[in-house]
Amino acid sequence: MGDPLYVDGVDFAVVLIVLLKVIVVFVFLLVAVMLMVWFERKVISDMQNRIGPNRAGPWGILQTLADGTKLFFKEDLLPDNADRVVFRLAPYLSILPAFASFAIVPIGGTISIAGHQTFLQLADPPIGVLFLLAMSSIAVYGVMLAGWSSGSKYPLLGSVRASAQMVSYEAAMALAVAAAVLSAGSLSTHDIVAAQDSLFRWNIFSLGVVPFVVFLIAATAEANRPPFDLVEAEQELVGGFHTEYSSIRFALFFLAEFMNTVTISAMVVTLFLGGPNGPAIGFLPTLWPIVWFFLKLVVFLFVYVWLRATLPRFRYDQLMDLGWKKLIPISLFWLLLVAALRIGRIEGWNVILVLAGGVAVGALGWWALGAALALGQMDDADLSDESLREVEA
Amino acid sequence: MGYLDGFKVTFKQIFEPRVTNEYPDEKRPKPARFHGRHVLNRYEDGMEKCIGCELCAGVCPARCIYVRGADNPPDAPVSPGERYGFVYEINYLRCIHCDLCVEACPTEAITESKLFEFSFTNRQDAIYTRDELLVDDDGMPQKLPWEDWREGDEVNTSAWVRATAPSGDAGFEGKVAWSGELGRGVRPPEQGQTADSPADRPSKKVARKRRSHG
């Protein structure tokens, strides 16, 4: 299907509309990041019995602007050991995916500009969700190259952690997204939203809560948000990958980080909470989807701040355990179960039997995984003792 | 729901009262013996108390005081004694406001006001000279352009703020007294202090308060 904008061919007006949408999304993201930084600082200070920024503008709402202006005028340092080209490139590699992945988020329904019908989203590629996964993977390059090119040990450690962490959680995230894709039968974000047209068909309910929770956790890790911010763990790595960065380049990393938070919240809303779907109350039918979208978005932004205020940072081995031994098996099992139920519905199988069979297979898999892990935990001393005895015998 | 208890804790804090003091707008009252910017005191007849003995400079752990004494001109003496502080400079980039100079001063010439909100834009302004430190003809500290004087900062700057006043009594411990000599900024007794023999009859209230602090 795709965006009705391109149905009648591409003329000058269509190009203008697309440009307009690009500018709107760009400005929206910048403003959203500005407000997100302010919102995060306000909420987290509320949770710590503080007041938070309250000097610049009403309720300190312009604090981010002031900070950004300050950063812009600070000295831009380039370490002697840095790989100069990559060092300069890395912040842009980090911020571009952050901008790009918001392009596929549907903000509202269909509107009409100058006789052209168009979706309220920058682009609706048929591979929408794959695009999201690709962008979130490319974002690793920014972080990794930044740490590598700094020519300093803490950033290097941070970037090693970043790449390992993102690779680990990418799989769990993709499996959770696959469940949502399965229920919509399409990779396009517009279709995924359209498939969740009533409250009980929202993916958070219709798929069970598991993919939603897995996606939430994996996406938090993917964005390096606390409690998964090992990449820049202040206490261990000074500032992690951006230790050597200053001035506007640092600001770009900062911007990308918060933009990722906004984008991830938007993706959670899109994939699991029906995006802009919600009851339209009387007047202004095109406005209500936008309002619903932003309400859901703010809820998730709050959740992210709440997570940060509550949870201490993970240890590195805990991070890996959670990713590989828990999230991936659980989301894999759940995806298979959802797939089995769908096939069962099409083929007319008994739902109870399918469920029971699925759970039985799941339990078997869980037991096998546990046994394998227990074997893996066996330390080298035991093994060497046994092998020694074998040698003696 | 053991996993979610922490979320409840942080959420509840949103409705708790704030502990933050909005500093530039509202200020918490300063303690009576707050150590701030110094003043050089004068006697009622306008004579300077400083005799240029350099004890303050000697005791200063931050080495921020520079004093040069000079003989008083016989026809126009600056201080009642033999000598006076010809040069007196305090570098506030180094001063740690420990008040040891105030303790050391034999004539209670140097004491501290409660002003701490002063900032300068060059190093020269950070070095206060005798002209800037001396009290004016009313016995009040001079208010320099880069200083932010607040209500009550300039009062009670006399030597009574010293922990060991009256000066020179090494056996003194923990009793608040005041010098009661000639001079500006000396305030009437308070909190049960008596003017005639403060060391004999210390205020119980004050004594108890001090013990609880120690």
Q: Which domains does chain B have, with CATH numbers?
A: 34-186+193-214 (3.30.70.3270)
Q: How far apart are CA B38 and CA B109, in angstroms?
A: 10
Of A49, A51, A54, the CB nearest to B13: A49
End-to-end C-alpha distance for chain B, whole angstroms: 46
Of A43, A50, A311, the CB nearest to B20: A50
Write down the pLDDT at residue B156.
66
Write down the pLDDT at residue A188.
86
| Short-list A164, A161, A208, A165, CA closest to A183 | A208
Q: How far apart are CA A90 and CA A252, in angstroms?
A: 10
Distance (Å) from the alpha carbon of B11 to chain A's nearest alpha carbon: 6
Query: Which whole number is the average pLDDT over B65-92?
Result: 88
| Short-list A301, A263, A255, CA closest to A94 | A255
Q: Is the pLDDT of residue A110 over 80?
A: no
Q: Is the pLDDT of residue B209 over 50?
A: no
A290 CB burial (10 A radius; 0-12, 13-18, 19+): middle
State chain A's mean pLDDT as an integer: 83
The answer to which of A44-53, A201-210, A214-223 has the lowest mean pLDDT is: A201-210
Q: With an 8 Å Cβ cutoff, are B18 and A50 in contact?
A: yes
Q: How far apart are CA B111 and CA A59, in angstroms?
A: 42
Q: How far apart are CA A229 and CA A40, in angstroms?
A: 16
Is B214 at the interface with chain A, CB within 8 A? no
CB A165 within 8 A of CB A319: yes
Write down the pLDDT at residue A384.
59
Which residues make Cβ contacts (< 8 Å) with residue A131, sequence separation at least 6? A100, A101, A104, A125
Q: Which carries the bigger pLDDT value, residue A241 or residue B205?
A: A241
A275 CB burial (10 A radius; 0-12, 13-18, 19+): buried
SS3 content of chain A, % helix, strand, coil (to 5): 75, 0, 25
Least CA distance to A42: which residue of chain B? B14
pLDDT one-digit tens code per residue, B39-68: 888 887 778 888 888 999 999 999 999 999
Tokens matching residue B210 = 């001090």
Write down the pLDDT at residue B67.
92
Buried-state track A148-173, b at ≥16 Cβ within 10 A, e below 16: bbbebebbbbbbebbbbbbebbbbbb
CB B108 within 8 A of CB B159: yes
Local confidence band at B166 (pLDDT 50, 70, 90 cut-offs): very low
Q: Which carries the bigger pLDDT value, residue A325 or residue B1?
A: A325
Write down the pLDDT at residue A157.
85
Is B5 at the interface with chain A, CB within 8 A? no
List the Cα angle B60/B66/B72 in 5-degree steps: 120
Match 């606390």 to its residue by tokens.
A226
* Contacting residues of A for B6, CB less than 8 Å apart: 310-311
Share of chain A above pLDDT 90, in %: 2
Distance (Å) from the alpha carbon of A346 to chain B's nearest alpha carbon: 38
The answer to which of A2-11, A75-84, B16-25 has the lowest mean pLDDT is: A2-11
Q: How far apart are CA A36 and CA A255, in angstroms?
A: 10
* Contacting residues of A for B1, CB less than 8 Å apart: none
pLDDT one-digit tens code per residue, A272-307: 888 787 777 777 777 788 888 888 899 989 988 998
Of A47, A54, A311, the CB nearest to B13: A47
Local confidence band at A238 (pLDDT 50, 70, 90 cut-offs): confident
Of A43, A49, A311, the CB nearest to B18: A49
Q: Are strands A116-119 and A110-113 parallel, antiparallel or unpaired?
A: antiparallel
* Contacting residues of A for B9, CB less than 8 Å apart: 310
Q: Is A48 helix (H, G, I), strand (E, B) or coil?
A: coil
pLDDT one-digit tens code per residue, A331-355: 888 888 888 888 888 888 888 888 8
Tokens matching residue A180 = 């949502």
Q: Is the pLDDT of residue B185 over 60?
A: no
Identify any residues that bridge with B40 across adjacent strands, giving them in sequence order. B110, B134
Which residues make Cβ contacts (< 8 Å) with residue A311, sequence separation at least 6? A226, A227, B6
Match 């001396």 to its residue by tokens.
B134
Q: With an 8 Å Cβ cutoff, are A306 and B22 in contact?
A: no
Q: What is the pTM of this model?
A: 0.73
CB A124 within 8 A of CB A140: no
State chain B's mean pLDDT as an integer: 75
ipTM of the complex: 0.71
Query: Which whole number is the average pLDDT over A215-237?
Result: 81
Asked if the bond preceding B77 is cis, omega within 30° of 0, the reply is: no
* Contacting residues of A for B19, CB less than 8 Å apart: 49-50
